[in-house]
Amino acid sequence: MEKYLGLYKEPTDATKQQERHYYLLSELQILVKDLPSWFQQRLSYTTLSDLAQALIDGTVYEIVQGLLDIQHLTEKNLYNQRQKLHTEHREFLSCQITCKGLEQRVKDEQRMMDEKIVAEMDQKVLDQQNTLEKAGVPGFYITTIPQEVTMQMNLLELILKLQQKESQSGILL
């Protein structure tokens, strides 16, 4: 009787990881169906499988969530800076100072602020790409090619949707 007990042992860590990999891969395949067809065509089974493998231990979820938090703080800070500038300009203009020089200054400062916002957000994208590439997340590398950035944004969306789905169902490690 004792020689048969070994047949019914608890699943090994490798078995649990394999089951989790299959689960994540299956969920990714379901989520991909909601994306545009051109994006679906670019996602091979291997890429999805590699992404599922990278998601197994939950580290990538934490990295993405941290990057998202940083991005939100950056966006809020930049928005507040722009609002402050806008308020200052409104105060200037409310004083009935209709000097052409001031109007040009307002336009120049707004343009410079907008350029600063774009530059900071572009840098944030590069930082995120670098972090995710170093974390070994498939499909992530430093690029400014719009189609590739869009592809990476869609991959991030997949990761976030899967994370949300898992946290709602209590599966997340």
Q: What's the pTM?
A: 0.68
Euclidean distance between CA atoms 79 and 60, whole angstroms:
28
pLDDT for 121 equals 96
pLDDT at 62 > cutoff 70: yes
Q: How far is CA 100 from the centre of its chain?
A: 43
pLDDT at 3 > cutoff 80: no
164 in helix, strand or coil? helix
Over range 3-8, report the average pLDDT: 43
Contact by Cβ (8 Å): 19, 11: yes
The count of C-alpha atoms lying within 13 angstroms of the C-alpha of 143, restricted to the half-sphere facing its C-beta, is 14
CB atoms within 10 A of CB 45: 9
Our CA angle for 125, 152, 161, nearest 5°, is: 105
Q: Six-digit token pair at 98?
A: 């209709």
Euclidean distance between CA atoms 141 and 72, whole angstroms:
21
pLDDT at 5 > cutoff 50: no
Residues 6+ apart with CB under 8 A from 152: 129, 132, 139, 140, 143
Q: Which letter does DSSP use for residue 10 in this model?
A: P
Over range 77-87, report the average pLDDT: 95
> What separation, in Å, do the N-terminal and C-terminal C-alpha atoms of the chain show?
36
- What is the tens place of the pLDDT at every residue in 115-147? 999 999 999 999 999 999 999 999 999 999 999
Q: How far is CA 153 from the centre of its chain?
A: 6
- What is the tens place of the pLDDT at every residue in 9-51? 455 788 999 999 999 999 999 999 999 999 999 999 999 999 9
- What is the tens place of the pLDDT at every residue in 91-111? 877 776 566 777 888 899 999
The full set of domain ranges for the chain reads 17-169
pLDDT for 1 equals 44
